Amino acid sequence: MFDYLEKQLPKLIMAPTAIAMLVCMYGFIGWTAVLSFTKSRMLPQWDFVGWQQYERLFANPRWHVALDNLLVFTLLFIIIALLLGLMLAILLDRNIRNDGALRTIYLYPMAVSFIVTGTAWKWILNPGLGIEKMVRDLGFTDFEFRWLVDPDMAIYTIVIAAVWQSSGFVMAMFLAGLRGVDDSLIKAAQIDGASTFRTYWHVILPVMRPVFFGAVVILSHIAIKSFDLVQSLTGGGPGYSSDLPATFMYTHAFSRAQMGLGAASAMVMLAGVMAIIVPYLYSELRGKKS
Amino acid sequence: MKTKLTGLALATMMAMAPSAQAGEVEVLHWWTSGGEATSVAFLKKQLAESGVDWVDFAVAGGGGESAMTVLKSRAISGNSPTAAQIKGPSIQEWGELGFLSSIDDVAQANNWDEILPGVVSDVMKYQGEYVAAPVNVHRVNWLWANPEVFRKAGATIPTTWDDFMVQAQKVKDAGYIALAHGGQAWQDATVFEAVVLGVGGADYYNKAFVQADMDALNSATTKKVFETFGQLRQFVDINSPGRDWNLATSMVIKGEAGMQIMGDWAKGEFKVAGMNPGTDYVCVAAPGTSGAYTFNVDSFAFFNQSDAESTKAQKVMAKEILSTDFQRVFNLNKGSIPARLGMARTEFDTCAHDSMDAFVSSSASGSLVPSFAHGMAVSEAISGAIYDSATQFFNSDDSAEQGVAQLVAAVAAAK
């Protein structure tokens, strides 16, 4: 009896979480998928209309703005955060003094929520309050920095704030990776007479490939989910020029009583996340087998 | 012994019965700030006098988006509150879903058909029966101006949109911001609405933005509306995107800006700043809309209740909402005017008097129109489409033709 219980205990303990996951994650994903094929407006209704909501979605100019913004934001955010994080990690790894203190400074933005980041940057980038006013007060009266209020540039302010928030975290990942690189590899490279640059480029960075991959996956899902940052920094504006799919979904499903359309946009977002996660899982699982 | 205990229990229950009989109402609302909270507290007190307990179901958060989400989930699970703050065409949507309960007997007993203007009572009815009670009427097409700024700029307060461009230019040339504006979608839509009414008139407004008639939308008048709306871009300062409406109002109060187009809730800001209507600030109808009136009526819609006690309490509440006492206190605090006609008006200020006069006269002349920027005229889907088009146009360099094309496409897609 006791043996039996002991054998079953792990399963018993895991069962509630497994059920919660099945219902709350996959169950609701399925429900959203079903909703996206219905006519639902304010409340769920079960009149199935096929792909009509998706057709309406892709006929909506605001959705295209949101998709374009997502592309610009994701690419720039990931690339800049990776480069900056890597640079910081390499510099910190060069045994400079007080690297502990510096590390904390760079990591600190991670402790702040996106809402706070967004609000602070909103003030910093506001032409009448922030950088533009400061530089003008210094005497450069022609200085202009108006990305926040320029519909064509507003999306880049979101990149700035997101990079500020996340590059410290990327740095920490890379730093852990760098510290984990076998010393003998570096020594061997040095004995062979490789320059510091070549050592990094040809020896250390290739070893860190898994870290790159992990960082990209984490950053890209932050990018796709981005909601709070946009909401607090630009509110999607000016106009709807800095809308992202997540803010589009929220607006339509919850404040405009277009639940079917909102569900359709959520499914397209899910497809976007899958496109990144599935290859990652595939490569991970395949790696373990061999 | 046993019977004695049962008897005791019964006796206790009977002793408690009177208070239980009076029932309680659970009310979903988002009047949680300042003057609004005071108004709600007054209603609460009045109901207590009639023996009805009030249970707050207040969900904080602006325009009530989070509150609506909570309401939907509770309605679906069969646990609706007694009443909820729902307005405009949303009342019809809830009615269609079968959640609302008729309070027509209360309405008939208290002559609501006579004390309420027809346009307002139409909104409160679903299939000919009252399902909601109005608490106030906001006028949205107001122009708030700082006379000091106008004096210094040598400008006069504009009464038409053509004149507006001339006077605003003078204010701008004198070094002030001509139009204080917050670049949020609903504020863009509020100004757009004033332009629609001022340029197109009430008939056009009704056809295009209430009935969403595609021919009326895709017309030369709409193009003219967008031309005028586009001209306003130059009178707004560069920092406006994202600004809250009350910050824009305070620009007028401080004399940094000449005017603002905003509903009569702006009056509260002037009041708090210690300014008097007529002398320190001026309230006039938005350009070209002096005979017309865009209304925004807040109301409580009543939900089906499972037990008779709650239904009874619900009806007491419905009756109290339209009582003269509540209408007076609530609207004095909120800056709006009472929904019921023919009330004593001495305590209200001159702006409210103007609003009351315009309400009655526009109601007679047919130029009393529901505000689409505040969810009174069209379904949320269509008003969302109008919001998108207006805000996108105002924040870009698009031409009037592009504005019209975009509006027509967006409304067609939302239908």
Whichever domain contains A257, its CATH number is 1.10.3720.10
Q: Is residue A53 part of a domain?
A: no
C-alpha–C-alpha distance, residues B186 and B229, integer Å? 15
A98-107, B138-147, B184-193, B357-366: segment of lowest average pLDDT: A98-107
Write the ipTM.
Answer: 0.78
Question: Cβ neighbours of residue A165 under 8 Å, at least 6 residues apart?
Answer: A109, A110, A112, A114, A117, A229
pLDDT above 50 for A290 = no
- Residues in contact with B235: Cβ distance below 8 Å, sequence separation at least 6, in sequence order: B168, B169, B172, B177, B178, B179
User: Residue B32 pLDDT > 70, yes or no?
Assistant: yes
B264 touches B348 (CB < 8 A): no
Question: A160 with A233: CB under 8 angstroms?
Answer: no
* CA A140/CA A160 separation, integer angstroms: 23
Q: What is the DSSP string of B237-252?
A: -TT-BT--HHHHHHHH
- Answer whether B386's CB lies under 8 Å from B209's CB: yes
Strand bridging mode B293-302 / B132-139: antiparallel
Structure-token match 């006013």, residue found: A133
pLDDT higher than 50, residue B17: no
The model's confidence at residue B199, banded by pLDDT at 50, 70 and 90, is: very high
Please give the tally of structural domains in chain A: 1
Whether the pLDDT of residue B140 is over 80: the answer is yes
Mean of the per-residue pLDDT values of chain B: 87
A55 domain residue, yes or no: no
Q: What is the mean pLDDT of residues B192-208?
A: 93
> Which H, E and C letters describe A81-121, residue by residue?
HHHHHHHHHHHHCCCCCCHHHHHHHHHHHHHCCHHHHHHHH
Task: In whole angstroms, give the CA distance from residue A81 to residue A98.
Answer: 23
Q: What share of chain B is helix, strand, coil (3-state, %, to 5)?
A: 55, 15, 30
- Please indicate, yes or no, if residue A19 is contained in any of the structural domains: no
Please count the other Cβ atoms lying within 10 Å of the Cβ belonging to residue B60: 10
Kindly indicate the confidence band of residue B19, based on its pLDDT and cuts at 50, 70 and 90: very low
pLDDT cut 70: percent of chain A above it: 98
Decide if B242 and A122 are in contact by the 8 Å CB cutoff: yes
Average pLDDT over residues A67-81: 93
| Contacts for B4 with CB less than 8 Å, ≥ 6 apart | none
Residue B414, token pair as written in the block: 């939302």
If interface means Cβ-Cβ distance under 8 Å, which residues of chain B face chain A? 63, 65, 68-69, 72, 75-76, 90, 93-94, 97, 183-185, 188, 237-242, 379-381, 383-384, 388, 391-396, 406, 409-410, 413-414
Give the separation between CA B194 and CA B207, rounded to whole angstroms.
Answer: 16
Residue with tokens 């800056």: B335
Mutate to test the interface with A, among B239, B402, B407 (most CBs of A within 10 A): B239
Lowest mean pLDDT among A252-261, B163-172, B187-196: A252-261
Identify whether A21 is part of a domain.
no
> Has residue A6 been placed in a domain?
no
CA count, 13 A, side-chain hemisphere, A188 = 8
CB contact under 8 A, A254 and B65: yes
Question: Are the beta carbons of A126 and B76 separated by less than 8 Å?
Answer: no
Residue A44, domain member (yes or no): no
Segment (H or E) for B258: strand B257-261
pLDDT, tens digit, 9 for 90 and up, residues B318-346: 998 999 888 998 888 888 899 988 888 88
Per-residue pLDDT averaged across B94-120, rounded? 90
End-to-end CA distance of chain B: 70
- Structure confidence at residue B267 as a pLDDT band (50, 70, 90): confident
Contact B381 A256 (CB under 8 A): yes
A54 in a domain, yes or no? no
A122, closest residue in chain B (CA to CA): B242
Chain B nearest-CA distance from A143, in A, is 14
Q: Could you list the beta-strand ranges (E) of B18-141.
A: 24-29, 53-58, 83-85, 125-126, 129-130, 132-139
Q: Are B136 and B374 in contact (CB under 8 A)?
A: no
pLDDT tens readout for residues A3-41: 888 888 888 888 899 999 899 889 999 999 999 999 888
When pLDDT is cut at 50, 70 and 90, the band that residue B257 belongs to is very high
Residues near A223 by beta carbon (within 8 Å), at least 6 away in sequence = A70, A73, A74, A77, A78, A162
The order of strands in the sheet holding B282-285 is B177-179, B257-261, B142-145, B282-285
* Residue B3: count of CB within 10 angstroms of its CB: 7
Domain containing A214 equals 61-289
- Please give the pLDDT value at position A170: 92
B68 and A254 within 8 Å at the Cβ level: the answer is yes
As a residue count, chain B comes to: 415
What average pLDDT score do residues A58-75 get?
Answer: 91
User: Which site among A256, A259, A261, A265 would you substitute to test the B interface, given the most B Cβ atoms closer than 10 Å to its Cβ?
Assistant: A256
Domain annotation covers residue A28: no
Q: Taking 70 as the threshold, does the pLDDT of residue B12 lie above it?
A: no
